[in-house]
Amino acid sequence: MNVNLRQALEWGGIAALALAAYWLFTPAPAPTLAQYVQENRADIRGVIKSGTITLAGVKANCDNTPIVLDDGFGDHAAAWPQSHFIIVNRKYMDPLPRAQQLFTFYHECGHIRGRVGELEADCHGIKEGVRLGWLDEKGLKQLCAYWRPKKGDAIHPPGRQRCNHMIACFKQASR
């Protein structure tokens, strides 16, 4: 086989593999708020366009970011910063203690405000709690009791690490 032909075939194969890898591993673009609601409409209880939600008797707001109330969502809450909305599952959220509900919301708010990693978003939630007056040492202990036993996953660090980081953020915010 001609050396140039072999090289061309090799480069073509490499290019095809690169294209396949890009297609397989590039995340899908974030849905718009309207797309998310349309795709999940059976479980959507509503959209709070004002961005103000009451959690455990406390009003919470994240820069007027719309909040989708989705009882079919597989977690307590999530944020889509690219599309600028937050999802809250009241079935999972409402049974939690007050500090945990508000921390969860303001953690997601941290993502909306550009806090990329989970630890950055945790710190944002803690600092907002101190600033707004709903988080004290008792609430921080409740948060750590909840998070410390968690193992973590591909996105979330282990609970012990998260708790230690939350304690450091609390101390910093309380100065």
pLDDT for 113: 97
- The enclosing H or E element of 61 equals strand 58-61
pLDDT for 18: 45
Q: What is the pLDDT of residues 90-122, one digit of tens each?
A: 999 999 999 999 999 999 999 999 998 999 999
Q: What is the pLDDT of residues 121-152, one digit of tens each?
A: 999 999 999 999 999 999 999 999 999 999 99
CA distance 148 to 46: 33
Q: What is the pLDDT of residues 16-42, one digit of tens each?
A: 444 444 445 556 688 999 999 999 999
Of 89, 88, 86, 101, residue with least CA distance to 139: 101
CB atoms within 10 A of CB 90: 17
pTM: 0.83
pLDDT for 8: 46
Of 92, 103, 93, 154, residue with least CA distance to 130: 103
DSSP SS3 for 108: helix
Q: What distances in angstroms separate CA 23 from CA 11, 71, 92, 160, one per listed residue? A: 18, 31, 34, 36
